[in-house]
Amino acid sequence: MITPTEIRKKAKNKFFAYLRSVVDGLDFEPIVIMGNKKPDNDTVQFEKELTELISHSKEKKGYGYSIRYQRVKTRKHGEQDVPVSILFQTELDYLKFIGKEQETVNFRKDVERILSAFPELLEWTIRFPNKVLDNHKIWGELLLVCTFFKANPQPHLYIRELPIQVDTKFIERNKGVIKELLDIIIAKSVNLGETRFETRFNLRYDEPMVRFRVLDMSLSQTLFSGIDDMSTPISQFRETEIPVETVYIVENKMNMLTFPPIQKSIVVWGHGFGVDILKDVAWLKSKKIFYWGDLDAQGLQILSEIRTHFPQVESFLMDRETFDLYNEGEVGTETNVEKVMCLTPEEKELFDFLKSGNYRLEQEKIPFEYASSKIPYFDRIK
Question: How many other C-beta atoms are found inside a 10 Å radius of the C-beta of residue 29?
Answer: 11
- pLDDT grade for 70, boundaries at 50, 70 and 90: confident
pLDDT digits (tens, 9 = 90+) for 320-360: 999 999 998 888 777 777 777 899 999 999 999 999 999 99
Domains and CATH numbers, the chain: 4-99 (no CATH), 103-200 (no CATH), 209-380 (3.40.1360)
Extended beta strands in 141-262, E state: 209-214, 229-233, 246-250
Report d(CA 222, CA 130) in Å as an integer.
60
Contact at 8 Å (CB) between 324 and 366? no
For residue 74, pLDDT beyond 80: no
Check residue 379 and give its pLDDT.
Answer: 61
What pLDDT, on a 0 to 100 scale, did the predictor assign at position 332?
A: 75
**Per-residue pLDDT for 39 more than 80?**
no
Classified as helix, coil or strand, 237 is helix
Query: Looking at residue 378, what is its pLDDT?
Result: 60
* CB atoms near residue 180 (< 10 Å): 15
The four Cα atoms 135, 141, 145, 148 give a dihedral, to 10 degrees, of 150
Residue 100 has pLDDT above 70, yes or no: yes
Mean pLDDT, residues 72-81 = 71
pLDDT band at 99 (very low <50, low <70, confident <90, very high): very high
In 3D space, the residue among 244, 251, 248, 214 whose CA is nearest the CA of residue 229 turns out to be: 214
Vertex 164, ends 158 and 169: CA angle to 5°? 60
Nearest CA among 209, 231, 230, 235 for reference residue 220:
230
**Average pLDDT score over residue span 6-25:** 96
Mean predicted confidence (pLDDT) in 367-372: 91
For position 36, what pLDDT does the model report? 64
Q: pLDDT confidence of 195, banded at 50, 70, 90?
A: very high
Q: Could you tell me what percent of the chain has a pLDDT over 90?
A: 80
Residue 75 has pLDDT above 70, yes or no: no
Confidence at residue 382, expressed as pLDDT on a 0 to 100 scale: 53
Cα 151 to Cα 141: distance, rounded to the nearest angstrom: 16
Report pLDDT digits (tens) over 261-316.
999 999 999 988 888 999 999 999 999 999 999 999 999 999 999 999 999 999 99
What percent of the chain lies above the pLDDT cut of 70? 95
Q: How many CB atoms lie within 10 A of CB 214?
A: 23
In this structure, of 13-22, 71-80, 89-98, the range with the lowest mean pLDDT score is 71-80
User: End-to-end CA distance of the chain, in Å?
Assistant: 94
Cα(85)–Cα(309) distance, integer angstroms: 65
* pLDDT range class, residue 77, cuts 50, 70, 90: low
One-letter amino acid of 359? Y
pLDDT score at 234: 92
Task: Give the C-alpha separation, 369 to 325, whole Å.
Answer: 14
Burial class of residue 7 (count of CB atoms within 10 Å of its CB; 0-12, 13-18, 19+): buried
> Is 80 exceeded by the pLDDT of residue 42?
no
The pLDDT value recorded for residue 110 is 98
Residue 118 phi/psi, 5-degree rounding, is: -140, 85
Residue whose C-alpha is closest to residue 104's, from 91, 115, 114, 113: 91
Instruction: Quote the DSSP letter at residue 158.
Output: B
pLDDT of residue 131: 98
Whether pLDDT at 55 is above 70: yes
Query: pTM here?
Result: 0.72
Q: Is the pLDDT of residue 87 over 80?
A: yes
